[in-house]
Amino acid sequence: MVQVMETWLLADRDTLRSYFGAPFRQNALRQWPNLEDVSRRDVLDALRRATAGCPRPYAKGAVSFELLERVDPARVQAECPHAKALLDFLRTL
């Protein structure tokens, strides 16, 4: 199960790159074999390192919700099986 909502952001690196622009350091984000198993600390640290040089670095709150609005649900559910289960359930309501 996902450890922190920001895990879903890591599933859509194209959106991160687009949002943060040229200073975004994608190489600061590892390629984890199972994204949902990555610890909260590692996810937040990776986002902090990847956006350290950006004019508006990652911060929980305003930036996180703006990004959550933009991520591609198809990419999130492809990388995060529990997100897919959640989205499938929500679609039945």
User: pLDDT (tens digit, 0 to 9) for every residue of the chain, 93 residues total?
Assistant: 778 999 999 999 999 999 999 999 999 999 999 999 999 999 999 999 999 999 999 988 879 999 999 999 999 999 999 999 999 999 999
Q: What is the structure's pLDDT at 55?
A: 94
Is 88 inside a domain boundary?
yes
Is 53 inside a domain boundary?
yes
Q: At what angle do helices 13-20 and 62-70 cross, to 10 degrees?
A: 130
Q: What is the structure's pLDDT at 19?
A: 97
Range of the structural domain that residue 74 is part of: 6-92
Q: How far apart are CA 15 and CA 72, in angstroms?
A: 8
Domain count within the chain: 1
Dihedral sign, CA of 75, 66, 32, 38?
negative
Is 1 inside a domain boundary?
no
Q: How far apart are CA 36 and CA 25, in angstroms?
A: 21
